[in-house]
Structure 1
Amino acid sequence: MAESVRERLIGSAVELLQRRGVAGTSIADLLERSGVARRSIYIHFPDGKNELITVSVAQAGDRISTFIEELVATQTPPEALSAFVGFWKHLLASSDFEAGCPIAAAAYGGLEAPTARQRAEQVFGRWQELLIFSLVAHGVDETEAAGIATTTIAAIEGAVVLCIAARSTAPLDRVHSQLNRLL
């Protein structure tokens, strides 16, 4: 089944967010990447770029949340961490260290897309809830689990940025090692 115009716009927005951030993603870039007519943006996203970015962050966040849910439901915390780090290493290497996290990009781009930043906060909150639930299920005190969840997300997101800057997965490998010790 062919991708709808709306889906093409959302997919293009996610890709551009990962590579250029909110400020570096223009309407012209979105049109070129998606191959749709300019009016399509305003038909599907009447509030323009901010709405498109917000919806794109929500969908990307949902996909990653589903992935995290699957990991924590079927694996121990260290195994889930290893799988998640593997996901990021693959994404970084396959994009030649150009694509990062679209959720982090939305958080950074709050001035240009304030509702996308709010959505990013919700997505990060959901990820923390998933990790807390898993850690508590594996015997970690809830307060301790909350701290570990926040540390894990912050460390991985930061490591992804460092990997892009260094064009290497070494920062993520080091963070992975330290988080394994914490777990």
Structure 2
Amino acid sequence: MMNVIIVGMGTDSRERMVRSAAYLFRERGYSGTAFRDVIVHSGAPRGSIYHHFPGGKVQLAEEAVRYAGDFLNAGIQAAVEGGDAAAAVDAFTGWWRQVLIKSEFRAGCPVAAVTVESHDEAPQLAAAAARAFGRWEDTLATGLGNAGVPDGRAARLARLVVASVEGATILCRAHRTVEPLDDVVNELKTLVAAATED
């Protein structure tokens, strides 16, 4: 899915490298992706990566996390504007389902990959991931709130959606089936529907 975006958006080498890094992190992880991999995948000139990212791999990863967070958040925002609580869940989970199937369960979340592998050596990466997760939660909470879920409950449910889907994505990759995600989505929709009726 993200490789379609890489081809379809702009030609600026810096942007291509950011998108390529996000794509590669979701399949290979942070530590499994080298600068040379990003150069080959993006088709950017060899020396340009050091020019655009003088802060090294950490700077590139921070930009890739921001890009991935913004990309998915835009999809969630578009879907939740109608005030349908189930659409808020579908907006977040439908994209992951496609990514898993199209990648034959090789791809996961680039934000999670960077979070898990960044540790204490690059605290700015954990902070970038927290911002991405936080935006998804805020956007989902807004959609749930628009559907009638009280604010405090909407925020908690939004966090539950993000945490559940991230975990389900890992289970899907391990089992090589979307069944864990489908099960989680069904349960989340039940919870969300009940919350709108309270």
TM over 0.5: yes
CA contact (8 A) 1:10 1:55 kept: yes
Query: Over residues 21-42 of structure 1, what are the superposed CA-to-partner deviations in whole Å (9 max), with x where a residue is unaligned?
Result: 1111112222222233442111
More displaced stretch, 155-164 vs 110-119: 110-119
Matched-pair contact (CA < 8 Å) for 2:83–2:146? no
Match of 1:14 in 2: 22
Question: Runs of 5+ in structure 1 lacking a partner?
Answer: none
Aligned counterpart, 1:56: 64
Alpha-carbon distance between aligned partners in 2 of 1:84 and 1:134, rounded to the nearest angstrom? 11
3-state DSSP class of the match of 1:74? coil
- Give the stretch that moved more between structures: 27-36 or 64-73: 27-36
What RMSD over aligned residues (CA atoms) do the two structures have, in Å? Answer: 1.7
Paired residue secondary structure (2:22): helix
CA distances 1:31-72 after superposition (whole Å, capped 9, x unpaired): 222233442111111111110110111111111111111111
Determine if the alignment matches structure 1 residue 135 to structure 2 residue 144. Answer: yes
Deviations 1:72-110 (A, max 9, x none): 113511123224322211111111111111111121122
- The TM-score with structure 1 as length reference comes to 0.92
**Structure-to-structure mapping, 1:40-79, within 5 angstroms:** 40-79=48-87
Matched to 1:40, the amino acid is S
Distance (whole Å) between structure 2 residues aligned to residue 109 and residue 146 of structure 1? 27
* Pair 123,2 (structure 1): closer, same or farther in 2 beyond 3 Å: closer
- Report the Cα distance in structure 2 between the residues aligned to 1:2 and 1:58, rounded to whole angstroms: 17
Q: Which residue of 2 aligns with 1:176?
A: 185
CA contact (8 A) 1:54 1:113 kept: no
Aligned length: 183
Mapped partners of 2:90, 2:13: distance in 1 = 36
Q: Secondary structure at the match of 2:97?
A: helix
**Structure 2 match to 1:27:** 35
Pair 1:150 & 2:143 matched: no
Q: For the residues of structure 2 that align with 1:139 and 1:36, how far apart are their CA atoms? A: 47
Letter in 2 for 1:117: A
The unaligned stretches of length 5 or more in structure 2 are: 1-8, 193-198
